[in-house]
Structure 1
C-alpha cells in the first residue's frame, strides 16, 4: 500500500507534483496511465503518481477516469493534482475524487508561488494576472473565470474560502476555520485556501493533518503534505551518461516558444507541422538528429518555433477536417515516432520532454510504462527521473509542463542532461 497516491490529469503534472514528495526523500514512481503494467513499480514505494490523461476528455469520461482510480486506491492519502492554470475538467474531477474518496473535505489550494501561481480572495493569478485573462483562458479547456468559487458553481456542494487574513494567523486558526466549515455542512465541503507564499500552503497542510482530507492542488501544496509512517531517506542520484541530450518540445505555449528561442539554432530541428499531419517519411530529420548526437551535440525536435507555425499547422489540420484534439494527437504521435526512430540509431545521454501530450506519446512509443523520480530537479517544478522499464530503463528523463520555467529553462535542462552547451 502506498502512503500517497497523486492523481493527475496529465503526465507532466503527475511528475512535477510527485516531485514534491520525491524531493523530501520519499520513494516515488509515476505511471503513464492507470492501465499500465505495474511490474516496474517497487512495492515499497511511498508515493505513486498516476496519470489519468483526462485533461482534454469529455467531462463524463474524465469523471469516470478519476472515480475509478480513487475508488481502487488503498493509499492513506489521496492528492488530486489540478493544473496550476486551472485548465481541464477542473471542478468535475475534484468533485468526483471527493465523492470516491469518502473524505470529510476537499482542501483546494492550486497556488504554486515559486512558479508565479498565487491565490488571493479566492481569485487565482499567474504572475500577477487573473488566470482567465492569460493565454490559458483561451485554451479549449481553459478556465472561464479566475474565481475558484465561480468554477465550482456547477457542483452541488458547499464551497467556502479561507482568506489570506486567516491563513497568516497560523495553522491553528486555519484548523479552527476548517473545522467550523465542516461541522455546519451536511455534505463534504470544498474549502478554497488563499496562498501567495509557500508558508501559506504549509499552514493549510498542517491544519488538516487530523482530518480525513482530499488534498487538491498543484506542485506547490504537494511539497507541504505530511506523509506519516513512510521512509524519507530514498533520494536517488540520476545516472548521467556521456553524450548529448535529446529534447522533444510538444507544447506551443508562449513560455515554451520563448524558451526555444534561447536554444542554439543548430540544436533545434523543426519538423513541418503539416508534414507530420500527413504521416510522411522523416528519414532526413532522423539522420540529421542522429548526426548531431554522435557529435555530442544536443538536439530538440519540435513542430513549432513561433505562433505562425502553430497557425499553419492548425489550418492544415482543418483542411483535412481534423478537430483540434485530433491535430494535437497526430502532432504528438508524429514527434514521438521521430524521437523513437532517433533512439533506435543513437542513444542520447537523456531525454527532455516538454508538454503533457508529448511526454505521454514519447514514453508510450518507447514501450515504457513508469518513471522513477530521483528527488532532484532542474528548476522548481521540473523534476529529474529515470525510466523504470522498457528498452530505455535507467535513462535520465526530464519533463517540463509547457508553461513552466524561465527563458533559459530548456537550455538549462539540456545542460543538466548532457553536460554540454546548448
Structure 2
C-alpha cells in the first residue's frame, strides 16, 4: 500500500481528512510539529500521517515558510501526497499548493466536494450547501502549477471514486474530506464496519466556536453551561459531562485575546480534573488548547459520528473528539453524548502535566 502524507492548513481539517483512513483500519496519526511529521512519515510504522500547518488565517509569508519546511520534510517521499484545503477555498491555497508541487513532476487533481454535506463541484466551481455563489476552483488554485489541474465534476461519492487515476501515486491531490474518503475507499475497499467507539467519561466539552451551527447544537443539550465570558474560564466541579462555552462580554475585545484566555483556562481545568475525554469545537480552539497542554501527536481511531473525528493522545491516552464550528445538524452533539460510557467511580483519567 502507498503511504499517505496529508498536509492541512488547520487542525480540524487534518483530523477530518485523516479520520476516513482510520475508520477503515489504517494506522493514522496527526501531528502539529515538523519534526514529528518527519519522524512519523519516514518511521515506517504508520500508513497515514497528517500534519496541521496552522496557516489558513496567518500571513502569506508565514504560509510559504511553513510549506517550504513541509516540502523539505517530505524529501524523497514516494507515497501519495494529499493537500487538504477548506471546501469553500479559504486560505492561501494557490501559494501552498504551488510550493508543495515544486520539484515533483506530477499533475494535480483538485476536488473540494463533500457530497455527504451537500457540497459539490459543478462546472469547475464549488456549489451547494453554504456556498452563496459558485467558487471557481481553477481561479483559487492560480497559475503557478505549470500544468492545468484536473478538476472533476463531483455530485456523488461515486463521481469522486471514478475520477481517481489507476495509479494513486501519479498525482498530487488537493481537496477536502470527500476526496480523502475516496482515497481511503480505494486503499481499503474491503474494510470491516468500524466498531462502536468508546467515549469514556468524565468529559470536558470546550466550545470556542461562535458559529450559529454550533450554537444551535449546544441549545439542544440538557446540560448546565459554564460560561467563559471573554474566554475567562471559572473554576468548576467536574461532572460526567462538563460543558464550558466561551461567550462575548466586552464588545471591543480582540477575539485572539479571548481565545488565548479560553485555551489557557481549559488547559488548567484539564490539568486539575484529569478528564478521560476532551471535546473541542473549532479549529483554532482545538489547536490552542492542545498547544497549551503540550499535545503534539494524536492517533486517529476513526469517527464518533460522520465528520466528528475521534483520536487518542499518543503520549497521555486522553481521548480527543473534535468538530469544526460550522459542521453538523442541530442534534449532532446530543447524538454524540448518547454514546458516552457512564463513569464507574472517581476519575482515573490520564495525567496531564503542569501548564506553563
Q: Report the TM range for the smaller structure's normalisation.
A: 0.7 to 0.9
Q: How many residues align?
A: 339
Query: Which residue among 140, 153, 158 is the counterpart of 1:194?
Result: 153
2:347 is matched with which residue? none
Query: Which residue among 327, 331, 338 is the counterpart of 2:265?
Result: 338
Deviations 1:9-49 (A, max 9, x none): 00000001011211111100000232458789974110101
2:27 is matched with which residue? 27
2:11 is matched with which residue? 11
**2:179 counterpart of 1:221:** yes
2:204 is matched with which residue? 246
Matches within 5 A, 1:117-266: 117-127=119-129, 131=131, 146-153=135-142, 155-157=143-145, 187-205=146-164, 207-209=165-167, 212-225=170-183, 240-241=199-200, 243-266=201-224
Query: Which residue among 92, 96, 103 is the counterpart of 1:93?
Result: 96
The 3 A distance-change label for structure 1 pair 103 and 220 is farther
**2:323 counterpart of 1:366:** no
The 3 A distance-change label for structure 1 pair 384 and 270 is same
Structure (1 or 2) with the greater helix fraction? 1
What SS does structure 1 have at the residue aligned with 2:87?
coil
Deviations 1:372-410 (A, max 9, x none): 0112x1222211111111xxx112111111121111222
Alpha-carbon separation, structure 2, partners of 1:211 and 1:21: 16
1:315 is matched with which residue? 252
**2:307 counterpart of 1:381:** yes
Contact 1:7/1:52 (CA < 8 Å) preserved in 2?
yes
2:56 is matched with which residue? 55
Whichever of the two has the greater Rg, that structure is: 1
**2:317 counterpart of 1:394:** yes
The 3 A distance-change label for structure 1 pair 238 and 34 is farther
The 3 A distance-change label for structure 1 pair 211 and 15 is closer
The 3 A distance-change label for structure 1 pair 240 and 149 is closer
Alpha-carbon separation, structure 1, partners of 2:127 and 2:113: 8
Alpha-carbon separation, structure 2, partners of 1:147 and 1:196: 16
TM-score, length of structure 1 as denominator length = 0.72
Contact 1:349/1:417 (CA < 8 Å) preserved in 2?
no
The 3 A distance-change label for structure 1 pair 95 and 40 is closer
RMSD of the alignment, in Å?
3.0
Shift of 1:236: 8.6
The 3 A distance-change label for structure 1 pair 363 and 43 is farther
The 3 A distance-change label for structure 1 pair 244 and 412 is farther
Shift of 1:371: 0.5
Query: Which residue among 83, 86, 91 is the counterpart of 2:86?
Result: 83
Contact 2:9/2:85 (CA < 8 Å) preserved in 1?
yes
Alpha-carbon separation, structure 2, partners of 1:402 and 1:362: 15
1:111 is matched with which residue? 113
Deviations 1:127-164 (A, max 9, x none): 2x5x255xxxxxxxxxxx612233234x334xxxxxxx
2:47 is matched with which residue? 46
User: Which ranges in structure 2 are unaligned for 5 or more consecutive residues?
Assistant: 344-356
TM-score, length of structure 2 as denominator length = 0.85
Alpha-carbon separation, structure 2, partners of 1:401 and 1:95: 26
1:321 is matched with which residue? none
What SS does structure 1 have at the residue aligned with 2:25?
coil
2:69 is matched with which residue? 68
Contact 1:103/1:188 (CA < 8 Å) preserved in 2?
no
Shift of 1:342: 1.6
The 3 A distance-change label for structure 1 pair 218 and 109 is same
